[in-house]
């Protein structure tokens, strides 16, 4: 099983600043990595797939990078609606696995 580890668990950022979230896989997942955003009481929403491809309707301030075992989600100029929990998920191998999440909170 590919274990996905996200860091930090919580990230405190001021509006307008940049946020950098990390996701590490225990073994290579190539570029088969997705990122999701979840707000309280809502279902997750797909942001990024294939490590760096933005999903339909996702603003350009969200970008993904990495391959193999190290991945990054960057949010430039955080907006109020971006404060949420972010999860990574690998789909290179069964079982599908999610990281534990990073909560981005207002500083």
Partner 1 sequence: EVQLLESGGGLVQPGGSLRLSCAASGFTFTNYAMGWVRQAPGKGLEWVSAISGSGGNTYYADSVMGRFTISRDNSRNMLFLQMNSLRAEDTAVHYCAKIPHPSYYMDVWGKGTTVTVSS
CB of 73 to partner 1, least distance (A): 14
Judged by beta carbon, residue 36 or residue 83, the one nearer partner 1 is 36
Q: C-alpha angle with apex 79: 78 to 80, nearest 5 degrees?
A: 125
CB of 53 to partner 1, least distance (A): 10
In the complex, the residues that contact partner 1 under the rule CB under 8 A are 32, 34, 36, 38, 42-46, 49-50, 55, 87, 89, 91, 94-101
User: Where do the DSSP E strands lie in the chain?
Assistant: 4-7, 10-13, 19-25, 33-38, 45-49, 53-54, 62-67, 70-75, 85-90, 97-98, 102-106
Judged by beta carbon, residue 76 or residue 92, the one nearer partner 1 is 92
CB of 8 to partner 1, least distance (A): 15
């Amino acid at each position: 099983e590919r274990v996905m580890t996200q860091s930090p668990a919580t990230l405190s950022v001021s509006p307008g600043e940049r946020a950098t979230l990390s996701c590490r896989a225990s073994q290579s997942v190539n570029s088969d990595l997705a990122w999701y955003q979840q707000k309280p009481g809502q279902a997750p929403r797909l942001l990024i797939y294939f490590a760096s491809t933005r999903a339909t309707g996702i603003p350009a301030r969200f970008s993904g990078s990495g391959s193999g075992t190290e991945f990054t989600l960057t949010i430039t100029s955080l907006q109020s609606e971006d404060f949420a929990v972010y999860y990574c998920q690998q789909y290179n191998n069964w079982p599908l696995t999610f990281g534990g999440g990073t909560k981005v909170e207002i500083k």
